[in-house]
Amino acid sequence: MTLSLLVILPLLTTIAVLLCRGQYTVRLLSFAGVVMQLILSFVLLALYWKERAAGNTAPMLFVYRHTWFTALNIDYHVGVDGISVAMILLTAFVMVGAVLVSWKITPMGKEFFVLLLILSAGAFGFFISLDLFTLFFFLEVSVIPKFLLIGIWGSGRKEYSAMKLALMLMAGSALVFLGLVILYYAAGGHHFDMMAFAQSHPAAAVQRLVFPLLFTGFGIFTALFPFHTWVPDGHSSAPTAASMFLAGISMKLGGYGCLRTVLMLAPLAAEEYSPYIITLAAIAIVYGAFATMMQRDLKYINAYSSISHCGFILLGIGMGTRTAITGAVMQMVSHGLMTALFFATIGMIYDRTHTRMVEKLGGLLKMMPFIATTFVIAGLCSLGLPGLSGFVAEITVFMGSWQHPGGAYHFATILACASIVITAVYILRATGQVIMGPVKDPHYNGLADATWNERLAGILLVAGIFAIGVAPFWLNDLINK
Amino acid sequence: MNQIPLSHILFVSTALFFIGMYGLFTRRNMITMLMAVELILNSVNINFIAFNKYLYPEKLEGVFFSLFIIAIAAAEAAVAIAIIINLYRNLHSIDVEAADEMKF
Amino acid sequence: MPVAPYLLIVLVPLLPLVGFVVLGLFGRRYLRAFSGLFATGLVFLSTVIALSVAYDYYFISGAGPDSVYHSAKVLNIHWLSFGPDFSIDMDLLVDPISVMMAVIVSLISLMVHIFSLGYMKGEERYATYYAYLSLFTFSMLGLVLSANLLETYIFWELVGCSSYLLIGFYYDRPAAVAAAKKAFIVTRFADLGFLIGILVLSFQAQTLDLRNLIQILGPGGQSLADALLVPGNKGSFLGISALSWGLTLVFIGGAGKSALFPLHIWLPDAMEGPTPVSALIHAATMVVAGVYLVARLYPLYTATPNVAEIILWVGAISAFVPAVIACTQTDIKRILAYSTLSQIGYMMFALGASGFTASLFHLFTHAFFKALLFLCAGVIIHRVHSNEMKDMGGLRRLLPVTHVCFLIACLAIAGIPPFSGFFSKEEILAVAWENNPFIYAIGLVTSGLTAYYMFRLYFSVFWRKTPAHEGLHHGEAPASMKIPLIILAIGAAFAGFIPFSRFITPDGRPGEAPAFGLNVIPPVFIALLGIGIAAWLYGKESNRPEKAAKALRGLYTFAYHKFYIDEIWLFITKKIIFNLIGRPAAWIDRNIVDGFMNGLASATAGVSAATKGVQSGKVQDYAWFFFMGIAGLAILFIYLYT
């Protein structure tokens, strides 16, 4: 199968959306586009399984390579392994949800969908790239439209947030680019080929130099402490779909990048630097959770909890055992689905009640049982309830972390485990006030439950969460084989 | 007859250059500034011709260069005056201080 | 040994799950009126299957030729793997304990399902209630049947979640929401211990399968077990061996779920849920999960005497303290809640004192009489619409069946022969006597207190006042509520005669029934004494209780306020965690970490502001810079060349 279809399809959809007129056509086209992406991702999954079942043990499948810029040795080089397939599936799921919840977006619906589709093209391209330059290229593609999405359709301090998010992510990109350039020149060969680096790792000195740059750069994307402060502001100002993309996929770009750095580009340095990574991850997990406890705005709650949950990704990557890394990838997928669902329901609540403040909401279960139920499911997933994806991912990270032989690392793992209690506290506090309890405002009594498109988005994401939570073996095998 | 020493000519051209310089920095009137620029260019012309005559009397490159400079100065004057006229149309002034749109 | 016969046991947890899924998805809209019957029918089926498997296991095929009960694994679904040779399977374990527990859980759940048909009738969220109830039953059955520790943990959490939903069923009452939250968070806090315990044990044993775990880490298993027991050896920490750490942490998890002191604070509050839920969750199933967990890993606990010692003392304190508190409470359900705490303390210290059979026997009998007590309380509350003891009195004419059932349950819990509680409590006290006379004394005093507060409740509710005659014609309760009472009363009265030690022993070998000799005299005497005092104080309306309370004023208020343990926890969470950690963390994030980032941004802006003056827009300035630059470069080059 031609992997490039994954990038081409959203771009074609974008062009089609640009060419057509009328809000209704725009919606339908975008929806058709993302559904096709979802189907394509499932086809990819099936084909991947088929190849693996047939005994193909190549590290990357469906590789395609085409020279892009001869003079600098830059190729358009794509291919997937299990991790990429998992991330592609996640992206497709979240995109369908994002399009569905922004069904009635105003003003400039067309431009909104165009930007959203460009973002998804960037994400797909990022996850299939094997050439570091194209990787970086797609990373940038999936950053810049976010600035516009937040700045135009956002709420609250949107200009500030858009600027902050774009600048911090650009700073991350700059670090990544610096690292890549050093790799290009110092690691010999003058090439950007990730697979070549994976086969013959750069010299130890180069790794030591490059690793902090790449890891911090990608880390900024995935809310590495202390570079996480764009997360709360960016998420809370962004429109619902952008929040979903941001937390669901964009933060995973960083995680994926960190993972590739650790696994392929600089494994030696990763081991040397692992105490620092683990320390920062543990701080992010606990500190993020504590900070969440004090938030009053639902979007801030979810944004801060994302910092805490993305800490698990970094913890798993930092620990570096096979199980921990599997757990980190599972956490990426799980957190992506869960946080997208969370933002979607928060958006639905906000659309109806025009507030996101916890103390103003109450008793939503009475008039919007569907939204309330999905909110509770997202919350329970967040606090790691078995049967939902969050538990599976976290337990795998914990198990993998504990397998790391260092005694001090156990302490970090215990801290990470402790966060599940704090998570329970803030999730249940929010649920207790927003979903349960007496109805605080009589206006809320007449509010309607979810519309069909919102229901579809909710059901889709919940299905994803259950698919991982109830039967995690498929994802586990996908990542490991 | 004794030739005038080179240093005397260079002295004149240097004086001319700095007079031009002074004019360029102190005058606010753009026409005056243009004239000052002409003085600077002419001081360079004198240098070219003097060096040509005193150091390489059998060659003509210095003379050619001064001819180039005269041509360029003419073109430059034409462009400069066109700019000045345009500025005058927009700002009703040929004071160089008035044209400060291109700042931070 | 054939596995196939037990395959049916898969259906035991599965049927309630079907009930949950169907009712959860379609109940509210399409199945409203039938949801109760539907769920009850499914639980009935699973009870029947559990009973048939139990019969098959205990009497036909369970015991091998050496009459030792073997364990068998049913199902084998690969679920998750943590590394190449460490994978978690979803499978069910059939052994004496799990089968016994499956029978109890499904039976009590069935009773509660039937009872709720009447009790919850007309409730707006009737279908949702049954969906939650089914989810709980599924989780609990999964918990008792699970074959590896992670699976146990999974169902353990699910039990916690479904109890959260059930306690907070009346979600528009702030008290119910708060109680549900408290129950979840306190047990979650304890589950943290369980989780880390799992990590420790699995790391050492590289398996979580219960049977393998016991084999690898158990006494005389392998050299690994001996190595892990030595403090200062592999994996030890702070001078305590890895195995002790792991088991203590797992026990903390059990202590949270079983509401042992000082993690008991959630249970009394959890009475905010519908009363049948209290009967199900807080009497017979969820709260004994901790006991069950310790019993599951019993061989490991006996191998680590220091942990067993912890269990012994925690259990003893948990038996005694709530009993004292129960003597002063006035809310009928809270009294029952404290009595549950106390009885679980009994079971726990019995395990600590190596009384495996005694503990599980008490668990078994307690399930009957405590569920019965709660369901009776449900009938009473249904009738008087109040939880407070002072609103009741003289109800024996109004509620004759309930009265008799309640009396049987009270006699059983007080340990009066020949009711079931007598036998199990006697066994526990016998074990305690052998182990530590001091613990025995605590047990004895607690037993007296138990008799006292139970009969205080009994007399206050059914005697004390002259009965109010209004409402006599209402009839007592619908049959759906009375039938479970009668069935449970039969159990509470006669379950003690089951030769429990024949079936359930630590090693599966049939044990001997304990003989009762003169040692039964002190407990029975002290229980009768407690009943006598209760009758004297509460038998008739008088001012004796107030006088007694006044005489013991200090202790009374102290106990009435539950020894201020709630306040201590509240202080720790609100003042220390929220104000000293949470608030500063949020503040630091906004002001220092984010302030640093904003500072970077404004520093950039500042540098730009400082340097932008150079771009003055004045041609002559630029010319001046140009000239100076050229001059500077010229000087530099001249200097460099010479």
Position B39 scores a pLDDT of: 93
Q: What tens digit of pLDDT does each residue of C453-506 get?
A: 888 888 888 777 765 555 555 667 787 888 888 888 888 888 878 777 777 777
Q: Return the percentage of chain B with pLDDT > 70, whole number.
A: 95
Position C71 scores a pLDDT of: 80
Q: Which of A219-223, A345-349, B47-51, C297-301 has the lowest mean pLDDT?
A: C297-301
**E strand spans, C24-175:** 72-81, 87-94
Find, among A428, A369, A379, A434, the residue nearest to C178 by Cα. A428
CA distance B95 to chain C (A): 11
Section B17-42 average pLDDT: 91
Do residue C589 and residue A473 have CB atoms under 8 angstroms apart?
no
Type of residue at A279: T
Residue C608: is its pLDDT beyond 50?
yes
Q: What tens digit of pLDDT does each residue of A417-467 get?
A: 888 888 998 899 888 888 888 887 788 787 888 788 888 889 999 999 999
Q: Other CB atoms closer than 10 Å to residue C523's CB: what's the count?
A: 25
Q: Which of A393-402, C132-141, C465-474 has the lowest mean pLDDT?
A: C465-474
| Higher pLDDT, residue C387 or C43 | C43
Q: Return the percentage of chain C with pLDDT > 90, whole number.
A: 5
Per-residue pLDDT band at A337 (split at 50, 70, 90):
very high
Q: Is the dihedral of CA A378, C273, C571, C575 positive or negative?
A: positive
- Local structure of C98: helix, strand or coil: helix
Per-residue pLDDT band at B14 (split at 50, 70, 90):
very high
| Higher pLDDT, residue A392 or C577 | A392
| ipTM score above 0.85 | yes
CA distance A275 to chain C (A): 20
The alpha helices in C539-593, defined as continuous H runs, are 544-551, 553-560, 565-570, 583-588
Per-residue pLDDT band at C1 (split at 50, 70, 90):
very low
A472 interface with C at CB cutoff 8 Å = yes
Section A338-351 average pLDDT: 91
Please report which helix (H) or strand (E) contains residue A67, including its range.
Answer: strand A61-69
Do residue C192 and residue A421 have CB atoms under 8 angstroms apart?
yes
- Local structure of A83: helix, strand or coil: helix
Task: Give CA–CA dist A302/A430, Å, rounded.
Answer: 10
Per-residue pLDDT band at C2 (split at 50, 70, 90):
very low
CA angle, A398 as apex, A393 and A403 as ends, to 5°? 130
Q: What tens digit of pLDDT does each residue of C561-587 get?
A: 777 777 777 777 777 777 777 788 888
Cβ-contact A247, A303 below 8 angstroms: yes
Position C471 scores a pLDDT of: 53
Section A207-229 average pLDDT: 89
Please report which helix (H) or strand (E) contains residue A63, including its range.
Answer: strand A61-69
Under 8 Å CB-to-CB from A131, ≥6 apart: which residues?
Answer: A68, A74, A75, A76, A77, A192, A193, A194
| Higher pLDDT, residue C429 or A1 | C429
Section C213-225 average pLDDT: 68
Q: Which of A241-255, A381-395, C61-75, C302-316 has the lowest mean pLDDT?
A: C61-75
Task: Give CA–CA dist A143/A173, Å, rounded.
Answer: 9
The full set of domain ranges for chain A reads 5-480
Q: Give whichever of A432-436, C397-401, C558-562 has the largest mean pLDDT.
A: A432-436
Mind giving me the DSSP string for A327-366?
HHHHHHHHHHHHHHHHHHHHHHHHHHHS--BGGG---HHH
Give domain status of residue B43, yes or no. Answer: yes
Section A223-231 average pLDDT: 86
Residue B15: is its pLDDT beyond 90?
yes
Q: Which of A208-212, C75-79, C552-556 has the lowest mean pLDDT?
A: C552-556
Tokens describing residue C635: 């000087």
Residue range(s) defining the domain that contains residue B43: 6-92
List chain B residues with CB under 8 Å of C616. 100, 103
Backbone angles phi, psi at C331, to 5 degrees: -85, 125
Cβ-contact C147, C99 below 8 angstroms: no
- Chains B and A are touching, with contact defined as 3 or more CB–CB pairs separated by less than 8 Å: no
Tokens describing residue C239: 């001078």
Query: What does the DSSP 8-state code read for residue C505?
Result: -
Cβ-contact A230, A195 below 8 angstroms: no
Residue C552: is its pLDDT beyond 80?
no
When the pLDDT of each residue in chain C is averaged and rounded to a whole number, the result is 82
Cα within 13 Å of Cα(C414), Cβ side: 28
Q: B53, exposed or middle or buried, with CB in 10 Å at 0-12, 13-18, 19+?
A: middle
Residue B31: is its pLDDT beyond 70?
yes
Task: Give CA–CA dist B33/B21, Å, rounded.
Answer: 9
Position C231 scores a pLDDT of: 60
Q: What tens digit of pLDDT does each residue of B62-91 get?
A: 899 999 999 999 999 999 999 999 989 988
List chain C residues with CB under 8 Å of A397. none
Section C223-230 average pLDDT: 59
Q: What tens digit of pLDDT does each residue of C19-58 get?
A: 888 888 887 777 777 888 888 899 999 999 888 888 888 8
Cβ-contact A75, A64 below 8 angstroms: no
Per-residue pLDDT band at A95 (split at 50, 70, 90):
very high
Do residue C81 and residue A322 have CB atoms under 8 angstroms apart?
no
Cβ-contact A396, A476 below 8 angstroms: yes
Tokens describing residue A65: 């390579």
When the pLDDT of each residue in chain B is averaged and rounded to a whole number, the result is 89
List chain B residues with CB under 8 Å of C627. 21
Mind giving me the DSSP string for B19-79?
HHHHHHHH--BHHHHHHHHHHHHHHHHHHHHHHHHHH-TT--HHHHHHHHHHHHHHHHHHH
CATH code for position B64: 1.10.287.3510
Q: How many domains does chain B have?
A: 1
Q: What tens digit of pLDDT does each residue of C139-174 get?
A: 999 999 888 888 899 999 999 888 898 888 888 888
Q: Which of A285, A322, A473 is most worth mutating to test chain C (most C CB atoms within 10 A of its CB)?
A: A473
Greatest alpha-carbon span in chain B? 60
List chain B residues with CB under 8 Å of C620. 24-25, 33, 96
Task: Give CA–CA dist A260/A241, Å, rounded.
Answer: 27
Task: Give CA–CA dist C19/C135, Å, rounded.
Answer: 8
Find, among A186, A328, A187, A212, the residue nearest to A272 by Cα. A212
Task: Give CA–CA dist A352/A350, Å, rounded.
Answer: 5
CA distance A396 to chain C (A): 7
Q: In this complex, which chains have at least 3 CB pairs below 8 Å with chain B?
A: C
Q: What tens digit of pLDDT does each residue of C84-112 get?
A: 778 888 888 888 888 888 998 999 999 99
Find, among C376, C538, C367, C557, the residue nearest to C457 by Cα. C538
Position B68 scores a pLDDT of: 93
Q: Give whichever of A303-307, C55-59, C66-70 has the largest mean pLDDT.
A: A303-307
Per-residue pLDDT band at B10 (split at 50, 70, 90):
very high
Residue C247: is its pLDDT beyond 60?
yes
Q: Which of A436-440, B3-7, B93-97, C498-502 has the lowest mean pLDDT?
A: C498-502
Do residue C192 and residue A417 have CB atoms under 8 angstroms apart?
yes
Give domain status of residue B103, yes or no. Answer: no
Inter-chain CB pairs, B–C, below 8 Å: 28
List chain A residues with CB under 8 Å of C185. 421, 424-425, 428
List chain B residues with CB under 8 Å of C613. 104
Position B79 scores a pLDDT of: 94
List chain C residues with CB under 8 Å of A438. 172, 174
Position C484 scores a pLDDT of: 85
List chain C residues with CB under 8 Å of A387. 154, 158
Residue B11: is its pLDDT beyond 90?
yes
Write out the residues of chain B at the interface with chain C, using a CB-CB cutoff of 8 A.
21, 24-25, 33, 96-97, 99-104
CA distance A215 to chain C (A): 19
Nearest neighbour of A399 by CB, restricted to C202, C581, C583:
C202
Per-residue pLDDT band at B1 (split at 50, 70, 90):
low
Do residue A402 and residue C585 have CB atoms under 8 angstroms apart?
no
Q: Other CB atoms closer than 10 Å to residue C187's CB: what's the count?
A: 32
CA distance C598 to chain A (A): 9
Greatest alpha-carbon span in chain A? 69
Q: In this complex, which chains have at least 3 CB pairs below 8 Å with chain A?
A: C
CA distance B78 to chain C (A): 18
